[in-house]
A = this chain, B = another copy of it.
Amino acid sequence: MSESKADQPDETARPRRRQARGERRIQQLLDAAASVFCRAGYTSASTNAIAREAGVSPGTLYQFFPNKEAIAVELGERLNRRMLETHGVVFTVENATLPLRELLDAVLDPMIEFNCANPAFLTLLQSSDAPGHFLEEHAALHDSIQDRINELIGVRNPDLSPERRAHTANMAFALFKAGLGLILGHEGAEREAYVAELKTALYGYLAPVLGTEGVPARP
């Protein structure tokens, strides 16, 4: 109870001014983490391996991240932010009113492209083995995407009950992740084939709920 000086040890402790070198190291470490997570999964990935891959010592890694979990959280947040910044535009009202086939192209193609370039994202999204608090951030990451899908379905078909809409969004996202796994597991022509299969599957699933035709713009 003798900590009444100036700084609490809990959150918002101290902003720790980073130098340009530090920011560079952080990026190196996150890139290395993405590679190692992707290769071994979250649990099997070791912080020493991440540091080695980044070309720094274990001590240096812990200059920038308080623990292993924070690395995964930060990586997930950055990837999620980057995906929404770069391709988040796809969840627009204009796209929602397109014919279903075009809507799927407009949404899926950028998503797939991003995930092919950043396979660690899917790894984090479906890392079911994970200790305690990482699961919360994991869920947050999940919901962040889920909400976009939910919203798009709501715009497309406002008559759907909230429960049904949630189920549909949840299932659609699960189907997407499943297809994405197949896509990332193949290359070249095989990959393209699975992209087509995924679109077929989502079309077949969503057509009865969302309709295949474009919906007219609201007055």
Q: How many residues in A have their beta carbons less than 8 Å from beta carbons of B?
A: 34
Complex Cα distance, B177 from A183, in Å, reads 15
Please indicate the chain B residues that have their CB under 8 angstroms from the CB of A177 in the complex: 178
A170-B182, A204-B204 given. 5 additional CB < 8 A pairs? Answer: A129-B129, A175-B175, A178-B178, A203-B204, A204-B205
> Can you offer 27 A-B residue contacts whose CB atoms are under 8 A?
A41-B129, A42-B129, A43-B129, A44-B129, A123-B128, A126-B126, A126-B128, A163-B193, A167-B193, A167-B194, A167-B197, A170-B182, A171-B179, A171-B182, A171-B198, A174-B179, A174-B181, A175-B175, A175-B179, A175-B201, A178-B178, A200-B205, A201-B201, A201-B204, A201-B205, A203-B204, A204-B206
- A residues lining the B interface (CB < 8 Å): 40-44, 123, 126, 128-129, 131, 163, 167-168, 170-171, 174-175, 177-179, 181-182, 193-194, 197-198, 200-201, 203-208
Shortest Cβ-Cβ A-B pairs, 7 listed: A204-B204, A41-B129, A178-B178, A201-B205, A174-B178, A171-B197, A43-B43
